[in-house]
Structure 1
């Protein structure tokens, strides 16, 4: 595993110019993740293609909506080492109600994969409070550069922006990999709830916004 000096890494806002790199990076990050293995039936032919198609459609949707997207860039090589996407409540409406997006998913990720993804997405969203919040919807670090502090840098960049929204109660993130729980907890996330989707156990974590102002109490 190549060793990085973190001073060689810069966290920047990314746009559609980084779409291809982001898809490749997230593919390598997610291919062995329990959530994606369950959602897209890793034991059946075409698993890799289903992941690639899903990530392409998700990234396109985030970019079309102008979501908060950060990338970790190696300064000298201009290489994308990690990405993190943060969405707001409106993404729920776009995914659950956007017919064209659903059709694209069915055509590329398959009917069963799309049905599982939409069920998983709905279950996670249903577990969240109705109050204004944001969610870290996609995050990944290239396997060659994991466990070197890049994930922390990406999340801290999101925290810095999200914490400025005094109307938001905080950030949520979900994972089916319990190996990540300690890492998220080190950044002030706590387990908000646990979901059971067939054989998949999904953890939903929450990081409160330290600057949140509860106007309902006044």
Structure 2
């Protein structure tokens, strides 16, 4: 074999061996990148989408050729703090996971997706398959209020939480946070203002209840202009 051919063969063998050596590293790196991307769009406690993931899901719907109106559901658990105070944050997280699974199952049943936005606040994004929004809202309210069975200090514990649910109908091309989610937020506050453990559906012209009837700005609303009272 001539010297050039020997050199080429040697280079090919070295490249192949080098590739085989690097492959486990490349695979580990790919797994880490996949995991990092998953964490960017998912809540670490419940495994649901987080706010960024919900925005991405909405953007995907908006880009679809068959894009149509969407239903945005905003869910705020009523007086969840006593659960943590009484049973501890670990048991509180178990409740959040269970409630998240219920919300996910309802959303999936309607062809949509669910998210945990922050603390005890969840959201769902659903395609419009029915005009009976009240039935959808009642399903969320009813299933969330079902008891959650836990074990605390070795003893069985039953925890029941309720939720205030706001629904809004919006075009998928509407700005998600400024219009769709804002409308659902206004409706949710109306549900909370009128007794909690119930739902409200956004109607044109509906305004945010007076500050005295609210529990303060939400985490995701801080820094936004207070002048956006209607959407």
Fold shared by both chains (TM-score > 0.5): no
TM-score normalized with structure 1 length: 0.35
Greater RCO, CA 8 A, separation 6+ = 1
Q: Considering only CA atoms, is the larger Rg found in Structure 1 or Structure 2?
A: 2
TM-score normalized with structure 2 length: 0.33
